Each structure stands twice: as C-alpha cells, then as structure tokens.
Structure 1
C-alpha cells in the first residue's frame, strides 16, 4: 500500500470517527433539573425530555422548546368587580403557577401568563358578584379557595398547575368608604345604647332581687319569732295547766320588772312611780319561790 492510499484511508477513518463523535454529541442531551425539553422530528412532537441524561436521534430530532418548570408568579393584577349589593370594588390579585406538561403549554396556548391572568380576572368578578360586600370582607379565605379551585380546573388543559391564588386587597371608592364609615359609627352608637340599656335593666333586676331577698329574710325572721312566741305560749299554757294561776301571776310580774328596768336605764333622770298593784304582783310572784 503506497503512502497516498494510507493517508486516504486514515482520512476516511478520521471522518468516520468525527462523525461518530458528532452523533454522540447530538444524540445525548443533558437536561437541567429546573427544565423540560420538548423534542420535535420533522416539525412534529416526538417526546418530552426530563431532567438528567436523555438520548435523541441525531440530525432528525431537535430541541424545539426549553420550558422552565420552576414556580412562577404573575404580576399583581387589579380589576373592578361589583358585589351582590351593587358596590363597586377594586380587587388586587396575585397568582403562582408552574408548568407540569410543557407539551400542552407550548402547543395549546400562545401566551400562558396573559391567559391565566384573564382567567383569574373573570373568575374573581364572578365569585365576588355572588357575595355582598360584608361577606367579601369576612369570608376572604373561602373566596380565595373557590377562586383557586376554579382557576386550577380552567387551566388544566394548558399543562400548568396553579399553586397559589391570593386576593391581596379589596379597595373601595371614596364615596362608598365614607358611607361605610358613617354606617360603622352608627352601628357603634347603637351598640353603646344597647349596652347601656342592658346595664340599666340588669341594675333594676338586681335591685328587685335584693328587695325580694330582703322581704324573704324579714318574713323568715317573723316566722321564726312567731314560732318562738308560739312555743313560749305553749310552755306557759302547760305551766298554767300544771300550776294554775300562780304561773300566770309570775309571768305578769316578770314582764313588769322588765318594763321597769327599761324605764330605769333610759337617758336623763326619771322619777318612777310604782303602783300598789304592781308591788302586790311582785309580792305574789315572790311567794311562788317560798317553800310550801
């Protein structure tokens, strides 16, 4: 083999080796973790390459789209909405999403961000239109959940997943805000009046309860006194029955002594006149203590 033939074969081998290296270079695709690659063959979707090492057919397959699967945030959007009680509000929303099926995202919708923003605006207007203004303010969490669920169902055909949908703020115009402030002040004044009236009512109820309790205690004391007097009377009656008139004279004399004692201990100076009948009663009473 002459040198020219040897050089010719070497050139062929070198070309084949270069071709093989080029095929390997074109046939092996390394996809980052944060991306998915859409492969086309003659302009038609062939497959989607996930993260890691992938193989394609050199010179036939090409990477048509490189789609990031990182979570994305749409710019905060503001749209007008009318509540069920005809109040105009301006709603500020924020949406987070990520691409799950890039072949749908690139072939079914041209501008995914604009499409999601339009969908969110329509759903927010629809949901707020079902609620009154007070319900929008007080049930914001449930409103956000309904919006998120409906947005997720609407964008499913676009190969994306809505991870978060937030209603950041609900703003009112100046006239509505002023009217609501007046209503709030009126409601506060009404509550204060109701509280004051309830306080007065409670005070009257407590006073009535106190008077009733006092009357019950007085009645109970009178009942006890009456029972004591009845008991004393029964004792005296038993003594009269047993001792006759002597017991009666003793009780009368005892009461007279107590009356004279009360008069004697009064303020000032008193001159006490004791009737003769009283002295006789004392004498009769003391006779009861003499041994018979």
Structure 2
C-alpha cells in the first residue's frame, strides 16, 4: 500500500511538472520595446510584439529575442593609415537600432559583431582618403561618411545605424612631437601677428589723436582770431563812436562864448607840446624856420573854425 502511494505521489508530481513546463512553453510575455521571433517546426512563423502571447507547446519556439532600443557598441581601437602615410589608432563608439527583427535574425549572424567589423573596415577606408591634419579638423565629416556607408550596408540586416563617434585618435610619439612643434610655431606666429596688430592699432590711435589735436588747435586758433577780430571791430566802433561824441561836444563847446579862443589856445598848446616831445626823443631838434609860424598856424586854424561856423549859420537861415 505504501509503495502504491509513493508511486502515485511521484506520478502526481511528474504531472504537475509537465503542466508547468507546458504552461511555460505555451504562454510568453514579450517586454516593452522588444520583439520575439517564433519558429514553428524550425521555420519562421511570426514576430511577437510586446504583450502576452500563446504558443503551441513543442511546436512553436522562440528562436530569437531582440531589443528595439538604441544600442551602444564600443568599437575597439584599430590602426588606420592616413593619405599622407601616417599610422594612427582610432577608438570609436557605434549607435545602432534593430528596426526589423526578422532581418536581424536571418539576414546576418550576430549583427552586433557584423556592425562592429563593418565600422572598422569603413573607418580604415575613410581615413585612408584623408590627410592627418584633416582627421582632427573634419572629424564630424568623417563620422557622417562612416554612418552613411554603414547604414547603406546594414539595411539588409534590419539594422539602422544612428551615429558613429570617434572618441580618441592616438598618434605615434614622433608625430606628437612634430605636431607640438607645429602648434608652438603656430601660436608664436599668432602672437607675433597679434603684437603687430596691436602696435599698428596703437600707431593709428596715436596718429588719430595727433590729428584730432591739430584740428582742435586749428579750431581754437580760428576761434581766437575770430574773437580778436570781433574785439578789434568793436574797439574801432567804440573809438569811432567816442570820437564822434567828442567832436560833437567840441563843436558845441566852440559855439559857446570864448569857445574859439579856447580852441586856439588848445591848438597852440598841442603844437608846442609836439615840439617838446621831439626834443626829448631825438638827438637833433627840429625848429620851424620862423617862430612866427606857430602863431600863423593858430590863426589859420581859427579861420577854418570861423568858416565852418558861417556855413553852419547859413544852413540854419536857409532852413528857417
């Protein structure tokens, strides 16, 4: 009886395990952003998207599982020879994505390894057509050329090449020394150019300052001359006005009683004063041929004044 129970227990356990295995083989859950490739009796059947799926036990089999996320592949360092025969070591990173799980399963064996090998081959080809200097200056262009070539070649594999980035370029020590000397010479050249440009700009600034100074001085001189001319003009005008006023007052004073005698006396005093100045300022003294000429001059001036008064009186009578 105990042997029968033991056999029944073993049978029940075996049946339960079989049920579990059948359930595992039948029900499959595909994660988000993933595809499962199902084969039926060794032949491609269908591609399962994310979600819950039922398979036929022992007939359907999940042969390949692919993620549809963007994958990052580290491309190992490879030796490349540039167009000017310089060997460089290049490290890169490749970004790919599975867009067709069926092609990725049956189009190529191990698409990641295939994409890596193709990236290295393409990079060697592109670097071989580029000079050493251009490998640093045109890195973005090189990346674009590699991506274009890889994407075209990987299209039958159901793979989309998104990006290819050169992470490092290793140079031989001799080339590094030559490049350092070249960069040092280039920096010195730029420094010399910068210094010369600074000196030239300084000279230009100095000349501009001197030019502006000359302009300012000429403008100041011009304004000074204008001010002096205006001052002299005003001075002449004021002197003329003062002289006119003085003459007018003298004429009025002459009309006063004994005015003519005062004028004659004033003229005689100035005449004598002029001779006295000549005597003080010169070694020789000028004396009129006839001393009576002084009186004659005074008398002549008196007659001129009388004549002017007569004309003024005649004009006044005609107006009356």
Q: TM-score range by the shorter chain?
A: 0.5 to 0.7
Aligned to 1:99: 98
Aligned residues between the structures: 231
Inter-CA distance 229–41: structure 2 relative to 1 (3 Å threshold): closer
CA distance in 1, matches of 2:191, 2:161: 46
Structure 1 residue 182, shift from structure 2 partner:
0.6
Structure 1 residue 129, shift from structure 2 partner:
4.2
Cα deviation, 1:101-147, whole Å, max 9, x if unaligned, reads 33222322123233111211122233334544444324434543443
Root mean square deviation of aligned Cα: 3.5
Aligned to 2:315: none
Aligned to 2:75: 76
Cα deviation, 1:172-200, whole Å, max 9, x if unaligned, reads 11121111111111111111111221222
Inter-CA distance 72–238: structure 2 relative to 1 (3 Å threshold): closer
Alignment of 1:108-127 (within 5 A): 108-127=107-126
Structure 1 residue 95, shift from structure 2 partner:
2.1
Aligned to 1:234: 233
CA distance in 1, matches of 2:99, 2:226: 94
Alignment of 1:130-209 (within 5 A): 130-209=129-208
Please state whether the residue corresponding to 2:28 is helix, strand or coil.
strand
- Report the TM-score, using the length of structure 1 for normalisation: 0.65
CA distance in 1, matches of 2:114, 2:183: 40
Q: After TM superposition, which residue ranges in structure 1, 4 or more long, deviate above 6 angstroms?
A: 21-24
CA distance in 2, matches of 1:75, 1:31: 30
Unaligned stretches of 5+ residues in structure 2: 1-14, 248-275, 281-320
Cα deviation, 1:265-289, whole Å, max 9, x if unaligned, reads xxxxxxxxxxx85xx9xxxxxxxxx
Contact 1:97 1:161 in 2 (8 A): yes
Aligned to 1:33: 31
Contact 2:80 2:89 in 1 (8 A): yes
Aligned to 2:87: 88
Higher Cα radius of gyration: 2
Of 175-184 and 159-168, the range deviating more from structure 2: 159-168
Structure 1 residue 238, shift from structure 2 partner:
3.0
Aligned to 2:4: none
CA distance in 2, matches of 1:27, 1:232: 120
Contact 1:37 1:63 in 2 (8 A): no
- Report the TM-score, using the length of structure 2 for normalisation: 0.60
Inter-CA distance 49–231: structure 2 relative to 1 (3 Å threshold): closer
Unaligned stretches of 5+ residues in structure 1: 1-16, 248-275, 281-292
Aligned to 1:10: none
Aligned to 2:65: 67
Please state whether the residue corresponding to 2:116 is helix, strand or coil.
helix
Structure 1 residue 156, shift from structure 2 partner:
2.0
Structure 1 residue 37, shift from structure 2 partner:
3.2
Alignment of 1:213-232 (within 5 A): 213-232=212-231
Inter-CA distance 50–235: structure 2 relative to 1 (3 Å threshold): closer
